[in-house]
Amino acid sequence: MGTKIIAPYIWGWLADHTGKRMLVIRIASLFSILCFAGIFYSVDYTWLMLIMVGFSFFWNANLPQFEAVTFSHLGKNPHRYSAVRLWGSLGFVLFVVLLGALLERFDVGILPGVILVLLLAIWIFSFIVPDKSAKNVAGQYESVRDVLFKPHVLLFFLVCLLLQASHGPYYAFYSIYLEANGYSRTAIGQLWALGVLAEVVIFMVMHRLLPRCGASKLLMLALALTAIRWVLIGHYADSSTIIFLAQLLHAASFGIYHAASIHLVHAFFSGHLQGRGQALYSSLSFGVGGAIGAYYSGLTWDRLGAAWTYDIASGIAVVALFMSAWFFVLYKKQLNGAGPQQEGQ
């Protein structure tokens, strides 16, 4: 988590200044493989810690820069981002289902080998994707600091941080929690897959929803449904029907949220700032927010129990919801002052 806070911006700065995003991705992917391969050398705690820090430093360079490359290829159609992103979700579904079944039969020790093969595939396929630099637009001479410290941008990143912090109990303890409530590993894998399938469905229609509803309104909807989702998981784990419905809400808590947020980041950080903008989104939300979420849920899980931990997560999502309404007002003023534009452009 520490490298996720720092590394994306370092690589984003490098990509923005060289303009060679795919080269950065290829180099980072290669060193991710080399670092991760060290896991087969020893299982000593200190060695594994060093391996994971090195791996994470390079691995966390990839996604923000690939987001920037994607938007460069989309050009004047950034609302179609979700149609590309859904393929990552489909890959996740496929391997969650396969690995869930495999781990019922084989020891978890097979996992590092599977991960290494996937890392190699990412590196190989990165040579097929052509690079494309972002075109500079009006406002291109603004610095990252100028954009970041605009009130509506700061507020947006705080909303993202809180939303990811609310995911702490889900990402850290969901599988353990379900297993403790009698769910099999296969069923747990299928529930994870169900959540991502719901995400895929929403990605398939987001290119229609974004122009009609606007990214900031969709962000508020995602936060409201996220707050409901954590209450359902925390209090109704004994009901497979409710857990099933709660997993469908992953379409909102990640799918709608991420598609709307990445759209807004692209609007805030244009041209030569694109790589660092995506890096800041990754660092502040998934990095800082994810670290805070993992930390508080670890503290409260043992002391207060699962239900209270998910209630706290829901409360954090509600706070983020109110802040997103404030963001909506500020962003509207910003757009009105800048002239006619599409909201969430």
Task: Note the pLDDT tens digit of each residue in 193-248.
Answer: 888 889 889 988 888 888 888 889 999 999 999 999 999 999 999 999 999 999 99
User: What mean pLDDT is predicted for residues 9-36?
Assistant: 87
pLDDT at 279: 83
Query: What average pLDDT does the structure give for the chain?
Result: 86
pLDDT at 53: 92
Burial of 340 (0-12, 13-18, 19+ CB in 10 A): exposed
Q: How would you label 270-287 residue by residue, b for 16+ Cβ within 10 Å and e otherwise?
A: bbbbbbbbbbbbbbbbbb
Domain assignments of the chain as residue spans, ordered by start: 2-338
> Would you say residue 343 has pLDDT above 60?
no
Does domain 2-338 fall under CATH 3.40.50.2300? My reply is no
Q: Provide the residue type at 151 as one letter.
A: P
28 touches 59 (CB < 8 A)? yes
User: What mean pLDDT is predicted for residues 275-286?
Assistant: 84
pLDDT at 101: 79
| pLDDT class of 345 with cuts at 50, 70, 90 | very low
What's the predicted TM-score (pTM) here? Answer: 0.79
**Residue 85 to residue 71: CA distance in whole angstroms:** 11
